[in-house]
Structure 1
Amino acid sequence: MNKKKTAIILIAALIAAGGGTTVYYMQNSKNTKKAASNVQQTTVKVTKGNIRSTITGTSQLEAQQVQMIVPPKEGIIKAINLSRNQTVKEGDLLLELSDSTLTEKLDTARQTLNQYQTDLQDLLSQQSSLRTVAPQSGKLILSTNISEGASVSKTTKVATIADPSVLLVTLPFIQEEAAQIKAGDTIELTVDGFLLNKTGTVESVSVGSKSDAKGNRLADVNVRVDNDGTMDAELMVQGSITANGLKIQSTGKAKLQYKTTTTVFANASGTINKLEIKENRDVQAGELIGTIVNDSLSKDITNKKQQIEQQTKSIQDMEEQVQNLKVYAPFDGVFSTDFADPKKNVLTSYPVGTTIKSDVKLGAVASLDTLQLPISVDELDLTKIKVGQKAEIRVDAISGKTYQGEVTQVSTVGTTSNGVSSYTVVLSLKSSPELKYGMTASADIIIEDKRGVLQLPTQAVQTRSGKRTVTIKKEDGTTEQKEVKVGSNNSTMVEITEGLSEGDQVVIQGTSRQSNLTQQQADQMRQQFQQGRGGASGGGGGGGVMMFPAGGGGGNR
């Protein structure tokens, strides 16, 4: 055995996309001519180029937004605005159910609320009427039953306010004589018990059926008297008029009455606390007549407001229940029954008027704007994928066209099969008319895409004691080991970030002896390579070169 250790160097070229990985073995011994004959040396130049790393997956296109249309509860169909395939707009009414019991309850609740509101207005009106004031100017005449401490209700008559400026009187005349009197005639009035003579104006003559004690048929003559302040209601007067040269006199007397009077009601229930006016006299509009107290009125108002609040909430709840009987389109898109049953139109079983259960699927609304592609990614590649990364998507059924996508979701929960874990990564892409739900598509997630960087074939870089080196060929034909730093890599090329210049000649050594590794062994070697160069991303199927001592020591083969 040679005293010098013979190093057996393992060069691993890691092939992406699930391909087999080929491992080349090269024996190095100055004393072995056979081994030297197997060594092949070539040189390559350091060049500038592009290094692109991707992770690829295949799946079927699906709508990013899909919402199944189902009845909100069991009920009778009141309206259904759906067809097997139709375009819908957000907010379109698709389905409405009816609930007669709920509708009746809602109507009753609304009627009750209206009554509560009327009651409250009445109570508030009573509260504002606890101070009784004169509604207008005139002569106030207190009611006989009104005094301090007296109980009153809303309809209790407190007083009457009269306008004394105009008085009326109705005088009886013999019908034949009254026929000579007409509206507008002036009539002389004699005030009973006073030496007063006043004039009035005939407003109307009405023929009556009454008779006097002598059997004469009588007619009523209505007279207006403009009061000059010397007369008042309740005075007895008699009238006479000259017609056609003859003096005609009323057959009897009658009381003067106020033409205009206004009744003042208490408008509140309670007890009269104080009367500001205790005798009949002239008052001005707004003048205080008296005050009423009602100890329970404030409490009644509070209780009524609470009833209204509770009833309003009940109505809102029922209105929400009624509203929930309607199903609207959640967004713009297409409704299709195929989501429920691709073989038949389920809508034919549910016309208006039929009962439908809450678990019936009528179909779904799918958005036309955005599609998504959920692909499965190996656990070794998961850390390289981030939300927002771009992707290129190809559809099997559409050749020669590439669609731009973006990573929108990266799963944190994986599935395991045959000891290998995979995770779902969701890509989104803008929809096009030719793209259909369910089409098979492949996506390349772009991990890195570097342009114009220095690069070498991956097998040109060696790793020894944690350092990366290459063998450069100098102008005089001799070789020299040189340390370099690497960046990104893919299955064939690696980026050189330090140590070399464009145009440098680098030696690549290899042999014809080869051995195939399993995919698992290739993945392990790829991980070791990435860890050895400081975690630089290798991309989907990206490769690297590892140098290992073969057999743990020396010895010639």
Structure 2
Amino acid sequence: MKQTQLTQGTAVAEPAAPAKKEHAPKFKPPKKKRKWVKRLIVLVVIVAIVAFLLKSCMGGTQMAMAGSYLPETVSMQDLTVTVSGTGTISPIHSYKVTTLVRGEILEAPFEEGDTVHKGDVLFRIDASDVETSIEQARLAVQQAQLTYDNLKSSAKDAKLTANASGIISKLYVDEGDNVTAGQQVADILDRSTMKLKVPFHSADAASLSLGQSATVVVDGTAQPITGTVTDISPLEEVGTGGTLTRTVTISVTNPGIITDSSTGTATVGTLSCAASGPFEYAAKKTVVAKTSGELASLPVKEGDSVTDGQTIGSFDADSITTQIENARLNVENAKLTLQSAQDSLENYTITSTIDGTVIEKNLDVGDNIDGTSTTSGGNTGTTGVSYPAVIYDLSALTFDLPIDELDISKIQVGQEVEITSEALDGKTFTGRVDKININGTTANGVTTYPVTVQVDNPEGLYPGMNVSAKIIVERSGQALCVPIDTVDRADGGSVKLPGPDAVYDENGTMISPGTIETRKVTLGRNNDEYIEILDGLQEGDIVLKKNESSSAMAMMMGG
């Protein structure tokens, strides 16, 4: 073809040259010929370039279309089964200070960066309010105990008894009433014996003695009554006319005409009183209930005569028992309140729960803790929230990996872990599975379980760094393997192989897979990249995998 084109080109050029030369003087052909030659050369070059590009693109497209599948060789290799995941480094232990008490901080003897030990004081808070509450609670316990003891003592004889001999002059309660301890029940008067209190000159009174007989005359009557001196006051008083007197008490039997409004005079031997004096009942007592309860019986009425110690009423026994039990419960409740107040006092001294390093201190002496777990401000990773202090135990570092439910059964405590971090490019760390948490989290129909890994050599890693990790589930040694993306596991396991009519170039590169064959295989263990073939293939066999880039180009060309 090239020769033919060259021959035709020469034949055209030779006749044209003489014609142009004949008319050269008139039309100036040499100059015009040079312009067309240059233009022709440029045009030829452009066409050649476009043709080359089109040929290259069409050739590439043909190769991409022919290369819809890529060959992979079945080979023996070390198969390490791993389960991968990502996590964030954290200290093995951390303590974020929280408190539910409020008050001013009196002590905070530490700073950021300090090393603290378990039990060291971090904050001491003003506890004056709770100390007052403790004292009040202690007094409440004492009062409840006293009430309980009194009820037990009075319950030994759940009865009302007369405290003097005489006549019941007034009843304040009725049978069936509920009576409280200290309530008035009855007044008792001894009207059979009266006491006359009269002044004697001090010198005369000094000569008198108890038990002496005396003659008493009731004012307004002339009848003398025999009595007995029962008391001589040692105190001197100023009597009528400025004389000194002492009061002498004389007891007489009431003939029935003497009341507590009567007055009289007395003579002891040859000594007479200095003036008249009033009569009093020998006994005027009020019966008071010593316990509380329902008054089950009251067999006396006003006007009845009683003797000292006589039962005048009784309480319901069950009512008394209930009161005693309630009093006992009150004592127990008061003690619990006191204990609670004392326990709360401990909350005003905050100590470290771990050995570690202080990485945050957000409150200091003079600041107020408001009684909540956290305070506003600080750098904790949570907007607007911080803790009074944060302590990290950096003696070891850990992180959690979320493991899929399909893989969690493969994980065991103690398995080796390979760890990398983008922040420390090129450096690999090792670790061990420390804990498997069975409290899974479900999202979008998939459940994952947190597996805690402890780093063996954490130097260079810091809390908060993101890491990638591979848990070494099994090191299988040499196994017959293919890339995992060459296997279709939906039907139990199958691969695609090139047919006997596959086409290869001079370099052995597959141009076309020919008639593709599908073959069932028996699958074994796998990792993220390779899967073991137990049966169905031999070493050196070729399997096919979909060429994603070729498929994409074919779609573009087809579009």
TM-score range, shorter chain: 0.3 to 0.5
Higher helix content, 1 or 2? 2
Larger radius of gyration: 2
Higher relative contact order (CA 8 A, sep 6+): 1
- Give the TM-score normalised by the residue count of structure 1: 0.44
Instruction: Name the structure with the higher strand share.
Output: 1
TM-score (norm 2): 0.44
